[in-house]
Amino acid sequence: MYELFFQKLNEKVAFTNEEQKVITGYLTSKKLRKKQYLLQAGDVCKAIAFVEKGAMREYSVDESGAEHILQFALEGWLISDLYSFMTGEPATYNIDALEDCDLVLLTKSAQGELLKKVPKFETYTTAQITGAYLAMQKRVNAMISLTPGQRYLYFINLYPNIARRVPQHMIASYLGLSPETLSRIRKRLAAAQ
């Protein structure tokens, strides 16, 4: 149970079998069918989700109704509206399943309890969020310093498995491009080789 979760957990911080048993008690599992929501903007994000299997996305919707993908999450990744989770404010982002998913959930209240019982879990949390921050910073740097074509190459190089499993127009959304533009960029890149 939760094999991948504990594998990834122990990669960051080593936990004893005892601790892992305690942690297990605070986790719940959830299955999601393709296209189902885990979270809708306006609702409160009550849990952080770890993807054991499948693919998820997090996105915002602007005034004109267009979706903008902020984040993908494949196996081994965490996903949530962290601001909503931490503050209890309504979420600004939506999260749904791009494929049928097996998730491991850690609810807000479970997290509170867990941090008391297994203080080391905070170290894991810090490591996790630090990694997320650094990745986000790199993405910002790519957005202000690279051309769309370079950004696309950077993306498929960094996340080849996302590129394989996710529709192209969603990658365009993630990169801040129209689907047509990404299609033409790919054509240009293919011709250049």
Partner DNA sequence: CGATTTTTTGAATCATATCAACGTACGTGG
Partner DNA sequence: CCACGTACGTTGATATGATTCAAAAAATCG
Choose which of 39, 49, 70, 97 interacts with its own copies (CB under 8 A): 70
Residues 16-45 that bind its own copies (CB under 8 A): none
Q: Encoding tokens for residue 182?
A: 């990404």
Query: Residue 141 or residue 161: which is nearer to its own copies going by CB?
Result: 141
Q: Which does 167 bind (CB under 5 to 8 A by kind): its own copies, DNA, none?
A: DNA
Query: Residue 46 or residue 169: which is nearer to DNA going by CB?
Result: 169
Main-chain dihedrals φ then ψ at residue 31, nearest 5 degrees? -105, 145
CA distance 189 to 37: 35
Q: Does 125 bind its own copies (CB under 8 A)?
A: yes
47 touches 106 (CB < 8 A): yes
Q: Does 60 bind its own copies (CB under 8 A)?
A: yes
DSSP string, 2-36: -HHHHHHHHHHS---HHHHHHHHHT-EEEEE-TT-
DSSP string, 53-78: ES-EEEEEE-TT--EEEEEEE-TT-E
Instruction: Please tell me what DSSP assigns to residue 85.
Output: H
Q: Which does 78 bind (CB under 5 to 8 A by kind): its own copies, DNA, none?
A: none
Residues 146-175 that bind its own copies (CB under 8 A): 146, 173-175
Under the rule (CB under 7 A), what is the footprint of DNA?
Answer: 34, 147-149, 167-170, 176-187
CB of 71 to its own copies, least distance (A): 8
Q: Which does 181 bind (CB under 5 to 8 A by kind): its own copies, DNA, none?
A: DNA
49-60: burial string, b at 16+ Cβ within 10 Å, e else = bbbbebbbbbbe
Q: Does 53 bind its own copies (CB under 8 A)?
A: no
**Residues making contact with its own copies (CB under 8 A):** 60, 62, 66, 68-70, 82-83, 86, 122-123, 125-126, 129-130, 132-134, 136-137, 139-141, 143-146, 173-176
